């Protein structure tokens, strides 16, 4: 199966600082990656779709200036949480569909990044 | 509106029992994904299906397009199957997913 990695796996930061999370597809190219947020005991919520070489598409209610997404290459997307606040504390997960290989659209998930903002 | 509803929310069973988790979805969903999330948070894709039935080891997933319903079955359940199982609908014409609420499965030895 395909592998998607995330870094860091866990981060603790002070309120007001910015945090960058990386999502990499290790053995395939991903023109599209998805970023999700998951609060405790809740399911995943799609935040945005990251598109290689173009602007990300954000879901309703997600502030694009707060959650900056950069998909600079076919194997790397980054999510930067700017001016983080305690309410941004959550589990952030990325996924990438391996759409160049059958079965198309099967998605591979990163291991997640647990962000704690003090 | 694209929606995915899962049941039950919580399920506790004894080792060896046959497990069924159900998922209903609305129009506009072209395929159903079944995912497994372990306590550490990592998510594994179990199945992606748009018709019929798929089997992998002790796991079986079925989908009924007409009824817009999918089920995940686990045969001969084992404590290591304990996890949260999530069904997710793939929006027609897109790759993004809409997630069900998840089913927390606990298998006791």
Tokens (6 digits) for B47: 């199945």
Enter the tokens of residue A108. Answer: 């591979």
Q: Residue A26: pLDDT above 60?
A: yes
Q: Per residue in B41-100, pLDDT tens?
A: 889 999 999 899 999 999 999 999 999 999 999 999 999 999 999 999 988 877 889 999
The answer to whether the CB of B47 falls within 8 A of the CB of B61 is: yes
Neighbouring residues of B53: CB distance < 8 A, sequence distance ≥ 6: B60, B61, B62, B63
Number of H helices, E strands in chain A: 0, 11
Q: Which of B43, B48, B101 lies at the smallest CB-CB distance from A93?
A: B43
As a whole number of Å, the end-to-end CA separation of chain A is 37
Q: Is A104's pLDDT higher than 90?
A: no
Q: Which residues from B are below 8 Å from A when comparing CB atoms?
A: 31, 33, 35, 40-45, 48, 86, 88, 90, 95-102
Q: Tell me the average pLDDT across B31-40.
A: 92
* Section A19-41 average pLDDT: 92
Q: Comparing C-alpha atoms, which of A80, A106, A86 is closest to residue A14?
A: A86
């Amino acid at each position: 199966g395909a592998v998607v990695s995330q870094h860091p796996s866990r981060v603790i930061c002070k309120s007001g600082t910015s945090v960058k999370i990386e999502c990499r597809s290790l053995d395939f190219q991903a023109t599209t990656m998805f970023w999700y947020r998951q609060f405790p005991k809740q399911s995943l919520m799609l935040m945005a779709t990251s598109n290689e070489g173009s602007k990300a598409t954000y879901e309703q209610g997600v502030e694009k200036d707060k959650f900056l997404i950069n998909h600079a290459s076919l194997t790397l997307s980054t999510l930067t949480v700017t001016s983080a606040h305690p309410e941004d504390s959550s589990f952030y997960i990325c996924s990438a569909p391996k759409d160049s290989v059958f079965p198309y659209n099967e998605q591979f998930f990163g291991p997640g990044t647990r962000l704690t903002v003090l | 509106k694209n929606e995915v509803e899962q049941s039950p929310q919580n399920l506790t069973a004894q080792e060896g029992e046959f497990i069924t988790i159900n998922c209903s979805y609305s129009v506009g969903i072209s395929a159903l994904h079944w995912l497994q999330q372990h306590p550490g948070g990592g998510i594994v894709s179990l199945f992606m299906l748009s018709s019929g039935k798929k089997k992998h080891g002790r796991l079986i997933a079925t989908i009924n397009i007409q009824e817009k319903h999918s089920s995940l079955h686990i045969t001969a359940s084992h404590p290591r199957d304990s996890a949260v199982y999530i069904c997710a609908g793939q929006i027609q014409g897109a790759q993004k997913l809409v997630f069900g609420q998840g089913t927390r499965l606990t298998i006791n030895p």
